[in-house]
Amino acid sequence: MVSLSESIPDNPELGRVVPEIRNPDYRERFVHKYRIIYRIESERILIVAVVHGSRQLEPIVERIQSVQEI
């Protein structure tokens, strides 16, 4: 999981657009049973969530979109 997360900045567009959000700035990559969801910003790539693939994302979409910085 860590190595995939570290590789995201090299090719951020490689991840697919998160279907529940439908904004091309929000992408996701999969590792094992987890979704790594990140936002592409002008100066950085921000990982906004790591969610088990079986979890419904709709209930937490607003929280994901409101993430500013950790």
pLDDT, one tens digit per residue, over 18-35 is: 999 999 999 999 999 999
Q: So where are the chain's domains? A: 2-66
Q: Model pTM?
A: 0.86
What band does 70 get if pLDDT is binned at 50, 70 and 90?
low
Residues 31-56: pLDDT tens digits? 999 999 999 999 999 999 999 988 88
d(C-alpha 11, C-alpha 60), whole Å:
26
HEC string of the chain equals CHHHHHHHHHCHHHCEECCCCCCCCEEEEEECCEEEEEEECCCCEEEEEEEECCCCCHHHHHHHHHCCCC
